[in-house]
Amino acid sequence: MNMQKTPSLILASSSITRRALLDRLNFPYQIDKPDIDERVLDGENAATACLRLARQKAQIVALRHPRSVVIGSDQLVECASQIIGKPHTAERASAQLRMMSGKTVLFHVAVAVIHADGAVHTTAEIVTVQMRALRDTEIQHYIQHELPLDSAGSMKSEGLGITLLESMHSDDPTAIMGLPLIATARLLRAAGINPLG
């Protein structure tokens, strides 16, 4: 009888939110932080940059874990044709949220899964968000309580960030949090990992 062993799974991320999302699939995995330069290249649009960064994260971690399946993911925010990354400081978070207040914002999310044989498969999602018109006091309260300094566009929708939104349109409710689980599960099944057995 030819019993094929299910390959081990690695998440190329140190994001607590992505870990919590992947935990929902109830499949064992390891964490390995990719440590890449996440700057957007000159002339690169948000969708292209997001896919490139997700692929790059997965590829650098896959080099350290041959014959494993590796998930890389990235998220970039776009508002008024401007790409918005992680704020890193409370001052920048405040400026980002003031700029996005009352506007339509696109959340680009990409996933790359590297199979045990080295094949790379990617997918991308766009979440369209209508932001509420935000008062400065609301912005400051949100930043103080959520500390969204490592979140693209200062958005932590898994917490108080959801109260900043007027509406959200997406094919996957988990996409805005940085790891679209519907697409991720599909890519994992193609890589030989099925959380349902």
Per-residue pLDDT reduced to its tens digit, 41-60: 999 999 999 999 999 999 99
Confidence of residue 95 (pLDDT cuts 50, 70, 90): very high
Q: 139 in the Ramachandran plot: left (φ > 0), alpha (ψ -120 to 50) or beta?
A: alpha
Domain segments of the chain as ranges:
9-190
Give, in words, the CATH class of 9-190: alpha beta
3-state helix, strand, coil in the chain (%, to 5): 35, 25, 40
The mean pLDDT of 125-151, rounded to a whole number, is: 97
Which residue is associated with the tokens 């998930």? 71
Share of the chain above pLDDT 70, in %: 98
Marked catalytic residue, from 42, 74, 117, 150: 74
The mean pLDDT of 168-173, rounded to a whole number, is: 95
Strands 9-11 and 69-79: parallel
Residue 7's pLDDT is: 87
Q: Which of 124, 85, 113 is nearest to 11 (CA)?
A: 113
CA distance 123 to 54: 10
Q: Which of 1, 2, 7 is nearest to 192 (CA)?
A: 7
Active site residue 42: no
